Amino acid sequence: MGWVLIGWSRIEITLDAICGTAFHHCGGKQHFRKLPYSLTDKVEQFRTYHNELPQLSHRRAAAIALVDRVDALKGRRDDIVHGAAMELSADGAIRFMRLRTMGTYHDLTRPEITMEQVKEFAQNTANLSGDLMTYAKSFETEYWPNTV
């Protein structure tokens, strides 16, 4: 599980850096009043910047492909990061419990994740974080060159 959290923290800090650069140096303030905090807000801002800001149009296809990968992994990430591992089944699967606040009530889910799925997710997270960091390096070089 540790590799999942390490990989995912790299994804989120990279989204933070890209969103911050777009916000401050690419006209992002015309779309949002503040930098994002939650993963949902980071994905929304990243997507909006690349779809709406003319100076980012040449990066749109690559950026949207990356953020689509973040979206595809987000649900499993939420199960692991926001859930609690409750028990290990005889077949080696980890049973989680996850409570989501839905206004005035809680939604309880009990996802079951095998160790093979955890390993696959950790690999997918590592691959995505590497690809996103490569993108961020070129993004920062183009739009905020004194920082890299």
Tell me what pLDDT residue 90 has: 85
Q: Is the CB of residue 93 less than 8 Å from the CB of residue 114?
A: yes
**103-142 pLDDT tens trace:** 898 988 888 888 889 899 999 999 999 999 999 999 988 8
- Give per-residue pLDDT as tens, 21-50: 999 999 999 999 999 999 999 999 999 999
For the cut 70, the answer to whether the pLDDT of residue 146 exceeds it is no
- Widest Cα–Cα separation across the chain: 54
> Rounded distance, CA 81 to CA 144, Å?
32
Task: Give exposure, 36-74, as e/b (b: 16+ Cβ within 10 Å).
Answer: beebeebbbbbbebbeebeebeebeeebeebbebbeebe
Residues 1 and 28: beta-carbon distance below 8 Å: no
Q: What is the pLDDT of residues 47-84, one digit of tens each?
A: 999 999 999 999 999 999 999 999 999 999 988 888 88
